[in-house]
Structure 1
Amino acid sequence: MRQYRLLSPMIKVVIVLFPLLFSTAQAGLVIGGTRFAYPENQSSISVELKNTSDRDMLVKVAVSPDDARHLTGTVESLPSFSGTVFIATPPLFVLKPDKNTKIRINRVGGGLPADRESLFILNVAALPTLENSHSVKTDNQLQIAVRNRMKIFYRPSNLSEDPNMSYQKLRWARKNEIVTVYNPGPRYVTLYNLHVDGKVIDGGMVAPFSHRQQSWCKSQGVCEIAWQFIIMLYLHGK
């Protein structure tokens, strides 16, 4: 555990580091990761999917620009992208029970910034078949599509610093109840498992070269902020 007292004597920031490699599984569909790196010098990356259920699954995949759902409070505006930047293939397919496959993400356009990461969302929706595909559908039969959202970080080749050290660049300041966190670096930083004075808060992320402001603290007294930085094994399968 490391403790930092940054920019203000009235705010105490505690950071816990630990390695973690995420995968996600919902309703029988296992996706080989929750975040993926797309290096500029690669023509494509792949993402592995597995159907662990006993039914066929209709799977739909698409890549969309970041919609800033992970950013709350007062946030600087993010770069916008026109046109299609990434495509996922195949976009629609059936995945048989106990089978796995790979989808491929290709960059097809977009003038992305060369001095920072750009964030995109991989959307995966899976619709399992009915238990008896030959039965007549009745009003009390319901099919629910399971939707997953994974992060894709586009990384320009000239970003040489270790992404797992990006948390060290964050700077914190406080004025009354308002906390401002500054990210002067070129990479996104996730405030995972954030606690403010012992209370769990949805921390989200801090975008490159930007800052966020949140009404996290009480107006008086020392405010303690604790969060975890995940030393991620970012996936960029070939």
Structure 2
Amino acid sequence: MALRHFLVGTGAVLALCSATGMVQAEVVLQTTRVIVPAGLAEATLRMKNEGEQASLVQAWVDAGEGSQQDVPFVLTPTLFRLGPGSSQSVRIVYTGEPLPTGKETLFWLNVLDVPPKSTLPGDRLQVAVRSRIKLLFRPEGLPARGDALTWVVAAGKSGRSVLRVLNTSPYVHNFGSITYRAGGREFDAGMGYVLPDEDAVFPLPPEASSFHSGDVTYVEIDDYGGTKAKDAVARSQ
């Protein structure tokens, strides 16, 4: 899809930026993640143009940054004009290709907001902003969420300590922030997620390397974008 790449015209240069950067998207998504339940096999993403000009919007799904893997979803529409103050829903339909039935599968939903071409003379920089959120396929019959995360402190490849979290649940766990406390100090371990039946690593600052165990407070993000702080013990690996 051509609009995923930088476009260069005779009167303007269109650069692609992430919505998490300094440039703010005019087209705002109404959710932070989309869940596709296997029983329904579809979901809807709603967005609104909060800017003062119309935008050209493109939406697509991928299996990860740079992945060429085919994805089992069809979006309707995928390319459309969205006027100022207007809203649009994009329908996301699961096409039925086999996916794991005992755990969630993570995909990524992208929305590219392309501004109108400048009518001013001379070369102008136009910025296309991409919003990127999680798209989760959730099979039927998964057990209730429980306390399925185990945290440990381990040595990283660079010699610095890392927090490693093991997820034995069938759900993707999303963290808005992770704080490690040891020796009367607090260390920021960033944010991120861990996939079902896998582990994830979060690097700690160099000054945390002298502490081999401690406590963790992580802020978990739920299906609706709500947050809840939880505490755990991180033992030495």
What is the TM-score normalised by the length of structure 1? 0.71
CA shift in 2, pair 1:173/1:43, >3 Å: closer
Counterpart in 1 of 2:217? 226
Contact 1:55 1:129 in 2 (8 A): yes
CA distance 1:175–1:29, change in 2 (3 Å): closer
Cα contact 2:28–2:49 (8 A) shared by 1: yes
Answer yes or no: is the 8 Å Cα contact 1:119–1:154 preserved in 2.
Answer: yes
Matches of 1:181 and 1:227, distance apart in 2: 11
Measure the CA separation in 2 of the matches of 1:220 and 1:94.
Answer: 54
* 1:173 and 2:162 matched: no
After superposition, the CA RMSD in angstroms is 2.7
Unaligned runs of 5+ in 1: 1-23, 69-79
Share of identical aligned residues, percent?
A: 28
2-structure distance, mates of 1:123, 1:40: 21
| More strand, by proportion | 2
The answer to whether the aligner puts 1:192 opposite 2:176 as a matched pair is yes
Partners of 2:90 and 2:203 lie apart in 1 by 41
TM-score (norm 2): 0.72
Cα distance in 2, alignment partners of residues 45 and 214 from structure 1: 32
Structure 2, gaps ≥5 residues long: 1-19, 156-160, 226-237
Q: Is the 8 A contact 1:174 1:180 kept in 2?
A: yes
The correspondence of residues 138-149 of structure 1 with structure 2, limited to 5 A, is 138-139=122-123, 141-149=124-132
Kindly indicate whether residue 196 of structure 2 is the aligned counterpart of residue 208 of structure 1: yes
Partner residue in 1 for 2:51: 53
- Structure 2 counterparts to residues 70-89 of structure 1, below 5 A: 83-89=70-76
Listed one character per residue, the Cα deviations across residues 17-38 of structure 1 (whole Å, up to 9, x for unaligned) are: xxxxxxx994321211011110
Q: Secondary structure at the match of 2:191?
A: coil
Counterpart Cα distance in 2 of 1:53 and 1:220: 49
Structure 2 CA distance for aligned equivalents of residues 183 and 100 of structure 1: 37
> Quick one: distance in 1 between partners of 2:171 and 2:154?
26
Q: Distance in 2 between matches of 1:50 and 1:213?
A: 35
Deviations 1:107-129 (A, max 9, x none): 12431000100011000000121
Q: How far off is 1:66 after superposition?
A: 3.3
- Give 1:225 shift: 2.3
Shift of the 143–186 alpha-carbon distance from structure 1 to 2, 3 Å rule, reads same
Does the 8 A contact of 1:82 with 1:110 survive in 2? no
The answer on whether the counterparts of 2:115 and 2:126 sit within 8 Å (CA) in structure 1 is: yes
How many Å separate the matches in 1 of 2:187 and 2:121? 47
